[in-house]
Structure 1
């Protein structure tokens, strides 16, 4: 997975972003929101008109397997 960098105001430099999430702004432009790896504040990076694809971690992929599973009564439990 590639490292996403954003400018941290507190540290006054580019830092790697932890837990990046796609965010659609009011004007239709996509951005990434996350937290700074150095100071822990929220950082924001505008990426453009197309939705960014974020690779899931192994934990999230494993969690999604169990959430989407159906039980014996054909309901999502």
Structure 2
């Protein structure tokens, strides 16, 4: 998934954002919403007037999770 950092208030530092989703605010600007990898709270990062592109969708991430497993025969199936 994408490596997006946002400021986590609880730990007072930048952390990786888990499951970032684009969000359009009332004034027309775009932001990313997600959850913190360390504390699990909601994170919000304003990115500007253009819609952000996230490199990998949820479906592709789940698909990769199941297709990259190793079988009992030591092959990647």
Structures share fold, TM-score greater than 0.5: yes
Is 1:31 aligned with 2:31? Answer: yes
Q: Secondary structure at the match of 2:51?
A: coil
**Root mean square deviation of aligned Cα:** 2.0
Runs of 4+ with deviation above 4 angstroms: none
Residues 18-60 of structure 1, C-alpha deviation per residue, up to 9 Å, x if partnerless? 0000000000000000000000000000000000011224x60
TM-score by length of 2: 0.72
Conserved in 1, the CA contact under 8 Å of 2:2 and 2:56? Answer: no
Compute the displacement of 1:2 (Å). 4.3
Instruction: Name structure 1 gaps, 5 residues minimum.
Output: 64-77
Instruction: Name structure 2 gaps, 5 residues minimum.
Output: 63-77
Q: Secondary structure at the match of 1:55?
A: coil
Is 1:60 aligned with 2:44? Answer: no
Tell me the number of residue pairs that the alignment of Structure 1 and Structure 2 aligns: 62
